[in-house]
Amino acid sequence: MAQSKQDVFDLNIAGYKTELPVLKLPSGIRIAFFNLHGNQELTEHCASAMSKLLGGVEALITAESKGLQLTHCVARHLGHKFYAVARKTKKLYMQDGIDITIKESITTGEIQKLYLSKHDADLLKGKKVAIIDDVVSTGNSLNGLEELVQKAGGQIVKKAFVLAEGDAAYRQDIVYLATIPIM
């Protein structure tokens, strides 16, 4: 069954026009759902536009999973060989890494942990770091990434997102390419 026009949100992301499906969360609020997974053209466009906002950055970090391909492309644009990935589950190779706990997420409604391998923590130590992700909303995930960077000894100089959702658009400490409402 095709979606009717009222079930989508029209969006222009730095010159790229797209439609986002509007979904109702268990909390009852409705969001314009943004997903880069599998969309190579949109991911490349966003990475190119975002890279222009990240001058002077020495290291990148993202949280799995929706920020992965975006950060991969941003790293390539910036000429970075590696980027750090905060995982949501502790993997075997992460036994000597660091972790933090973050508050409930607006989309999942659960408390989460974030894990960083020693390799990735070392990548951030003493570096000017940019946090990269697809969407910032409540800032809970961002707070977790900030805590990980600080724990690893990095200095956060940029917090970059494709989209700022709702009141996040009023934050002065982030950069983003477009905004979406919470409905």
Domain ranges of the chain: 39-180
- Residue-wise pLDDT for 122-159, tens only, equals 999 999 999 999 999 888 889 989 999 999 999 999 99
Residue tagged 């990980």 (tokens) = 148
What pLDDT was estimated at residue 104? 59
Query: Is residue 28 predicted with pLDDT exceeding 50?
Result: yes
Interatomic CA distance for residues 173 and 146, integer angstroms: 12
Q: What is the mean pLDDT of residues 74-93?
A: 92
Contact 149, 177 (CB under 8 A): no
Residue 157, amino acid? V
Interatomic CA distance for residues 99 and 156, integer angstroms: 17
* Average per-residue pLDDT for the chain: 90
Residue 141, amino acid? S
- CA distances in angstroms from 35 to 18, 59, 70, 115, listed in the order given: 11, 24, 11, 23
Residue tagged 């993202």 (tokens) = 62
- Residue-wise pLDDT for 103-114, tens only, equals 655 555 677 889
Interatomic CA distance for residues 158 and 70, integer angstroms: 15
What pLDDT was estimated at residue 106? 53
Residue 15, amino acid? G
Percent of the chain predicted with pLDDT > 90: 70
Host H or E run for residue 85: strand 84-86
Query: Is residue 4 predicted with pLDDT exceeding 80?
Result: no
What pLDDT was estimated at residue 64? 87
What pLDDT was estimated at residue 80? 97
Name the band, by pLDDT with cuts 50, 70 and 90, for residue 33: very high
Name the band, by pLDDT with cuts 50, 70 and 90, for residue 5: low
Residue tagged 């314009």 (tokens) = 32
Classify domain 39-180 at the CATH topology level: Rossmann fold (3.40.50)
- Residue-wise pLDDT for 60-69, tens only, equals 999 988 899 9
